[in-house]
Structure 1
Amino acid sequence: MSHGVVVGIDGSAQSAAAAGWAAREAGRRGLGLRMVHVAGTEFDALERDLGGDTVVPEPVAAIRDRVTAALPGLEVSFEICPGYPAQTLAAVGGRAELLVLGSRGLGGFTGLLVGSVGLRAAARAACPVVLVRAGEDGLGEPSADVVVGVAGDRPCDAVLEFAFRHAAGTGSALRVVESRTTSHGPYATEAPVDQRQIRESLAAAEQLHLRDALSRWREKYPAVRAEAEVCAWSPARALVEASRSASLVVLGRRTPERRVTAPRLGTVTQSVLHHAHGPVAVVPHD
């Protein structure tokens, strides 16, 4: 059985939403769903094994049974893994097409919606990671647009591929958002000319450039209605605002050439993960 989509569940409302989102995505892609509950360290697991059969926590079993009952045709497996949650989930999802987690915060910070497990797993996993908020019933049908953030003159192929593929599979429109600002403000110039005219001219040129960069993806996914947007807000603000009406926000995470530093997320990605109004996908790329 193929375990193309992995979802971590811990019994929380956030992981319940993640399980529903992952199940729908697995069914849409024709893949199996692997549900994983991380139950502690290897020492804890050994103690449980010596004491008899491992007991599945009731909230975790309820999520598993709900997904299985809602999608009886979906191939589903369930397992309890020892280890630390972030590292274990990233490792289990290493060969999967997708890892889905609940964006569970630890409390104490107003507006911060992602806990340390989600952030660490998103920074470590070799596959795309989707973080889902509580209250988003993944078993429903998506209707809103997909938003993808791009930067630079050469948008990342892996990120655009994921975004276009997801939009095509869900029948959603795609908004490709790029932020263009400078230290002196958006499209600033030192010349004593009409600043508004300069801004509008540069924005139009950047939008045309972005449209050209998207041309081959439009050819590959002709059914996807993709719109290019160049805005003068900061990248994080632009994507958080766009997430208000989005079914998914897609971001990239650059992987280091050598494992000489601890894996981490960029400041824009972290800000969007904490403040987005819906699910966020983090796609690793070179």
Structure 2
Amino acid sequence: MTQEPGAVVVGYDGSDEAAAAVRWAARHARAVNRRLHVVHCSLWPLLTRHLGPVPGVSGSGLEQSAQAVLEEGVAQAAAEVPGLQVRSTLLHGVPAQLLARVSRGEELLVVGSRGLGGFLGLLVGSVSLELAATAACPVAVIRQDLHPDGPVVAAVDASGSPTALEDACALATAWRAPLEVVHVQHQPPGRRRSDTQDSDSDARTILSSALAHARAAAPAIRIDGKILTDSSVPHAILQASAEARIVVVGSQGQGILRETMGSTAHAVLHHAQDPVLISRRGS
């Protein structure tokens, strides 16, 4: 039996940020020829048992309200991409935990930069931040789509970041967008350029290998590369992706949230103005 291709999953909670994520996800699902799965996570069952309608008031009740939010998300997707295949699911519980579970085996998880439970006073972006560290598939965190015609920017580290590079090539190919591969050569403050000959050579080797892999994976698109030098790796990536359609970074480490995502991805996710893809794989 042939396994059905993974879907593009998007979390929706009725916020403006989540609406932007749904619209982005709908366009991406069309570009990669995947189904769109809109998910709303209701926290109300954790807070009260009184979910039913108010007696004598048609359409009232917390469960009905949650269903209305979900239907609104589906309507947002349908308006953005008419005819797109969309399914919807209403779940009950903590959004980050539920969406991480839903992401297993899927193509992509898309969330807004904030929301998904923010009415309870959660920290700005806390759910998106947790999902970027725990989801079982790549996670796109959508902010403003300021440069829809910009390039895809992929940041590669000393390992060549093969997963991030693969995801960036797939995005650029689907969108028919140019790809810019960047590698940051870390230069601690006070270090002289004359002391960096060996690291210069290493950086060129890393970038050259990444470009060769990218051009083999995405032969139909324009691919450029650049070596950046900075005392802060995230700062250099953010500068290089200032006019990007999306910036793609890998996820590294294990343990608590920050280490699970990796410090560079953590910083880029916090400060990027445009959409960010955290390249993840999991079970």
Which of 14, 17, 21 aligns to 1:18? It is 21
Residues 95-147 of structure 1: CA deviation (Å, up to 9, x unaligned): 211000000177xxxxxx951000011111010000001x438xxx9310011
Specify the SS of the correspondent of 2:74: helix
Query: Aligned AA for 2:162?
Result: D
1:270 matches 2:266: yes
1:74 matches 2:84: yes
RMSD: 3.0
Which of 164, 189, 196 aligns to 1:159? It is 164
Contact 1:131/1:279 (8 A) holds in 2: yes
Partner residue in 2 for 1:109: none
- Distance in 2 of aligned mates of 1:160 and 1:151: 10
- Distance in 2 of aligned mates of 1:151 and 1:215: 15
Specify the SS of the correspondent of 2:103: helix
Partner residue in 1 for 2:252: 254
Partner residue in 1 for 2:58: none
Contact 1:203/1:230 (8 A) holds in 2: no
Partner residue in 2 for 1:176: 181
- Distance in 1 of aligned mates of 2:38 and 2:8: 9
Partner residue in 2 for 1:110: none
Q: Quote how far apart the aligned CAs of 1:3 are.
A: 5.7
Query: Aligned AA for 1:253?
Result: S
Equivalences, count: 264
- Distance in 2 of aligned mates of 1:201 and 1:262: 34
Q: Quote how far apart the aligned CAs of 1:14 are.
A: 0.7
Q: Quote how far apart the aligned CAs of 1:71 are.
A: 1.8
Contact 2:19/2:76 (8 A) holds in 1: no
Q: Quote how far apart the aligned CAs of 1:182 are.
A: 3.6
Q: Quote how far apart the aligned CAs of 1:205 are.
A: 6.2
Residues 91 and 46 of structure 1: CA distance in aligned 2, closer, same or farther (over 3 Å)? farther
Contact 2:187/2:229 (8 A) holds in 1: no
Contact 1:17/1:132 (8 A) holds in 2: yes
Query: Aligned AA for 1:117?
Result: V
Q: Quote how far apart the aligned CAs of 1:28 are.
A: 1.1
Partner residue in 2 for 1:64: 74
TM-score if structure 2 supplies the norm length?
0.82
Partner residue in 2 for 1:212: 209
Specify the SS of the correspondent of 2:174: helix
TM-score if structure 1 supplies the norm length?
0.81
Flag structure 1 segments of 5+ consecutive residues without an equivalent: 107-112, 190-194
Query: Aligned AA for 2:26?
Result: A
Q: Quote how far apart the aligned CAs of 1:252 are.
A: 0.7
